[in-house]
Each structure stands twice: as C-alpha cells, then as structure tokens.
Amino acid sequence: MRTRAIYGCAGQALGADERAFFADAQPWGFILFGRNIADPDQVRALVNALRESIGDASAPVLIDQEGGRVARLKPPHWKARVPAAAFGALHNDAPETAHEAAYLQARLIAHDLCELGINVDCTPVLDLPVEGAHDVIGDRAFAHNATTIIDLGRAVIEGMIEGGVLPVMKHIPGHGRATADSHMALPRVSTPADELRATDFVPFRSLNHCPLAMTAHVVYEAIDPDHPATTSARVIRGIIRGELEFAGLLLSDDLSMQALEGSLGARAHAAQFAGCDVVLHCNGGMEEMVDIAAEVKPLDDIHLKRAQSALAHLSSPEPFDVEAGEARLAELLGPNLPRIEVA
C-alpha cells in the first residue's frame, strides 16, 4: 500500500539504494529540485525512473516552478518566467490584462512540465505579505491585498489545471506576516485571530476549491501558541478544515526545514497526527527518509479519498497554441518588465 509521504532524491539519476528504498517505502509521490535537473531528456528519464521504482506510471511528481526566483527549471533549456508580483503590479492598472497574463504564464509552465512528465506544481503562493515581514515571500506574492491575490491565484489554478498539471496553493493559512524564514527558523505571528481571519486567511478560503494545499511552518499565537500550523491540530482541523473549508489534499511543507523541532520521524508523526494527509521531505537524504518512513502511515481512509479526489482533477491538456501564448504573454507583460525583477 502507498504511504503518506513525498520524497526527493539526491541527484540527476536514481541510485540502487534509492530504487530499493522507494520500492519498499511506497511513497505517494516525489518532488524535484534544482540538483535533479540537467536537460529535458535527463529529467524525463528521472521522472520515469521514480515512477518505475514504485510501480505507478502516473504517480505524482512535484516541482516548485512559480516563476521568478523560485524556479527549478531554468534557462537555457526553459524560459525564465516573471515572479507573481509582476502580475500584481499590472493588476493595479489593468486587472483583466493581469488575469489573462497570469493565466497564460501558468498555462505555459504547465506545458513545460507536461513535456517532462511532471504533473504537480507547487504554486500559486497565496500569502498576503505585510510591511516588515521577512522577504522569503516577497515578490513571490501577487500583491498586498486579498482581492488581487484571489483574482490572480484563480487564474494560475485555472491555467495549471487546463494545462494538465495540479496546482498546490501555499502556504496555508498564510506565511505573509512571518518575520523569519521558516527554512532557517520558526516564525511566530502575534496578530489577533480576528485580524487574520479578515486578511491572511481570506485568499485560501476564497480559493478552497484548489485540489491541493501546502501548510505554513508558522506559529499563530492567537490560535495555537505551541505549534506551527504543520503540526497543529487546532490550525489544521479548526482553521484549515473548519473555517476555511478546505477539503482537498493537505501537504506539509518540507519536514527538513529548521522551523520544525525533533527528529525527522517525530516531525512526520506530529504532522500526520495534526491532520496533514501527506508529509513532504525534499532534500533526498537517505538517513532522514528512512527515519520518516518508519513513522509514515498507510495512505488509506479519508487521506486516500482526498488523494484520489485531487488526482481526479488531472486530465490531458486542453488544445493550446504555445507559440501564440508566448507572444501574447510577452505583449501583455512587455511594458511591466523594466521595473520587475525577472531573475
């Protein structure tokens, strides 16, 4: 039986130890990072090898391809895409144009991913940044207001699904106020719960039809002062499943991030106990993956139903003229690009 985990791998091809581990551990899926990427043929071969290791030709393979500085696929083999903030800047003066542009970029990214066999993209970022927050989110966010985030987030979700790729909204219920980078430390947010409900939580509630979501490693002191969202039953069951009415598949953010405490096995246990359907481990470290596998539960009951429901959103891409899409996106974004970082 498949288990409630997603793992990374160490390099650009699977080693014999990785194949054996995955065959035994039977994770729900896999995730790719820059260390795993060389060129299109190599990525396709790696994706196929990962799926072969667990005997599932359609297993989820994830990637973070947001555009801007969070992009695992880079030139010269893949086009550089603008960050989410580019669409927010355009939205200020031309909301319909911005919506179309966000849709087109997502649709084009989905095309790139489908060509490689990748079927899940960890985007859109629906976090609502505030002044003084850590720049780990920064231009990954669409805007500083919920209305714009909702409109552009919806465009990205539509573009991904119509392109044959599942989107993952993140970082639920909101990373925008964090004053620390959760890769390195545990952020704490002291904002009153009612204010969070009126601001940070709104985009996730409005787009709760997204088939997958990823948690925030953030403590919301007014809700649960002792645990970050990823390991907080109060946040997951009370806020994410309750108030935000998210019924899709809930992934933890990366368990190896320094925001979390304890062994990797303890982190996996805590995230599942709190209500995460699937735990995510990204760095490909075998020792850590073995620790997690010892604590990961079978993918069954409600967790299996949510996984099946998420995958049911996958279908063959709708007809799309890629060349025309690229030209139209360039036309829409052209005037914006001089004042937007495109790294």
Q: Please give the chain's pLDDT, 343 residues, in tens.
A: 999 999 999 999 999 999 999 999 999 999 999 999 999 999 999 999 999 999 999 999 999 999 999 999 999 999 999 999 999 999 999 999 999 999 999 999 999 999 999 999 999 999 999 887 788 899 999 999 999 999 999 999 999 999 999 999 999 999 999 877 778 788 899 999 999 999 999 999 999 999 999 999 999 999 999 999 999 999 999 999 999 999 999 999 999 998 899 999 999 999 999 999 999 999 999 999 999 999 999 999 999 999 999 999 999 998 999 999 999 999 999 865 534 443 3
Q: How many domains does the chain have?
A: 1
Quick check: is 66 in a domain?
A: no
Mark whether 139 is an active-site residue: no
pLDDT at 198: 97
Burial readout 176-206 (b: 16 or more C-beta within 10 A, e: otherwise)? bbbebbbeeebbebeeeeeebbebbbbbbbb
Asked if residue 206 lies in contact with residue 242, where contact means CB atoms within 8 angstroms, the answer is: no
3-state secondary structure of 215: strand
Gap between the Cα atoms of 213 and 168, Å rounded: 5
In-domain check, residue 64: no
Residue span of the structural domain in which 280 resides? 3-59+74-338
**Contact between 84 and 125 (Cβ < 8 Å):** yes
214 within a domain of the structure (yes/no): yes
Q: Which of 151, 205, 144, 145 is nearest to 173 (CA)?
A: 205
Structure pTM? Answer: 0.95
Q: Does the residue 68 lie in any domain?
A: no
Give the whole-angstrom CA distance, residue 215 versus residue 236: 9
DSSP H or E segment with residue 30: strand 27-32
Residue 343 belongs to some domain of the structure: no
Complete DSSP assignment for 247-274: -SEEEEEETTSTTS-S-HHHHHHHHHHH
Domain-embedded: residue 43: yes
User: Exposed/middle/buried for 132, CB within 10 Å: 0-12, 13-18, 19+?
Assistant: exposed
Non-local (6+) Cβ contacts of 269 within 8 A are 295
Residue with tokens 């990204």: 282
The residue with tokens 């927050």 is: 133
Single out the residue of 293, 202, 302 nearest to residue 247, CA to CA. Answer: 302
Residue at token pair 């003084």: 132
263 within some domain: yes
Active site residue 321: no
Question: What is the CATH classification number for the domain harbouring 184?
Answer: 3.20.20.300
Burial status of residue 328 (CB atoms within 10 A of its CB: 0-12, 13-18, 19 or more): middle
How confident is the model at residue 258, as a pLDDT? 84
Q: Does a structural domain hold residue 65?
A: no
Long-range contacts of 326-331 (CB under 8 A, 24+ apart): 326/79, 326/108, 328/100, 328/104, 329/101, 329/104, 329/105, 329/108
Residues 6+ apart with CB under 8 A from 94: none
Strand stretches in 98-243, DSSP E: 120-121, 166-172, 188-189, 212-215, 219-220
Which of 253, 254, 277, 291 is labelled catalytic?
253
The catalytic position among 24, 41, 183, 209 is: 183
Q: What angle do CA 19, 167, 262 make, to 5 degrees?
A: 55
